[in-house]
Structure 1
């Protein structure tokens, strides 16, 4: 009750300087201030004093009704509450939504049109639900597999390029200096730099440091990482180590460069020890476990 009384005094500009200073310290003051600003902009009809006075004089006497001060400010608070609710839900409709998958995890979710997305480790997607049917566009940082619902154009924007599709299944990977797109169903248009590529089922395009890589045709129906496998094409040791860190949520300290040897192949990723053993055998490395989640890799 005391809080309502303070709010009423503030709305009616009846607070002393000391009371106002104390009221400003309230954790919800910023919200109250925004609500007051918007409510003050509401316009009311112009009041004609002479017309109202004439009407009172000529009208038959009626029982006088009084409205208590409590009802007066309670109605104002109720009106402000309604306005604030409208502002809150309006902001939610226009705000961007973010889906995220941390290291060592995956995140599966549905878009407003029931398109399914699976985010790989250390990846995130931002999109807006408002007007989704007419603006099916999102921003991807990392890697994701898409099962797009049949319908209008669908766009995936990354820092390296844009992918445009229509009711299809595809995978997009964007990591630092690397970008690749694989199509598993339907047709995909990829815009990279100043060039445009059209992909159909089984086709892929990949770029590292802006240069195209030769990617073989795919016969599988989904990306390997969904089956706990990591596939690399002409990948450097530091890039492979970074992928291990994301997938297994571990820290790898690399005390060698691998002599520039590039790796192409598939590494099973269900077990970190098995995956590390394959990596160390390939590059002649010795793993030394420092903590439960930190391992040093150096020349054997």
Structure 2
């Protein structure tokens, strides 16, 4: 099994804006005093520049345009509704926001098959939405693919039973914990695991101070260390600049890069950057509009494709 891939699926936005349905528990979202059309225009420019940076280092980026008729403000974050696995399986996930459920499109699968990828089976968890249970893909689940360990911070968008079901289906050992952030003086669950934690091949970037329960924190660190990962910690303040929302990808000649936003990069100290760069170079891109309105960053925009070639 591989931890990283050279192929990334990204969805170019056409209706990007502040999603009122997700703002109830995504405390990273903020209002911008711009018309929606202007917000989408800025987001599209950020998206295109980001794609060019990835392609420039040899990442195979498959860009699929969003469908304007679907009115999906968060479609730029495809990793929440789908994941693609090395054995040819595809998982489809139950989404908290109703307007995000429209992001799930067969056209995406047809495009990947057209690009030469083989889809063997689709494991569909979406019926859980009817019961009010959610598990938002690799936003909720962080996969250590090599060691078959899955990490999940529970939240209104990450149900424990569904997570366990996923782990049984895909043969992962579950590591469950709660990660909180301070909102108006209260400790509230962070909506997605991938904003406080990133798993790379030889290291992990994690905001340990969000895991208030000492036993759970110890368990997470122990799992990371026993699988040989160097633990690089970030602060809650840095997490709010999306310093946890990173993804390691493969470029030309299998070179590894840690991809993040400009805001995430700028929030890191020199020593943190040095620790990361001891493992691989950093690639960053400005995603201010997408981060501010969408409450997600670089990692959320990239759906990794591990499918076998047909």
Give the number of the structure whose residues are more often strand, by fraction: 1
Larger relative contact order, structure 1 or 2 (CA cutoff 8 Å, min sep 6): 2
TM-score (norm 2): 0.27
TM-score by structure 1 length? Answer: 0.27
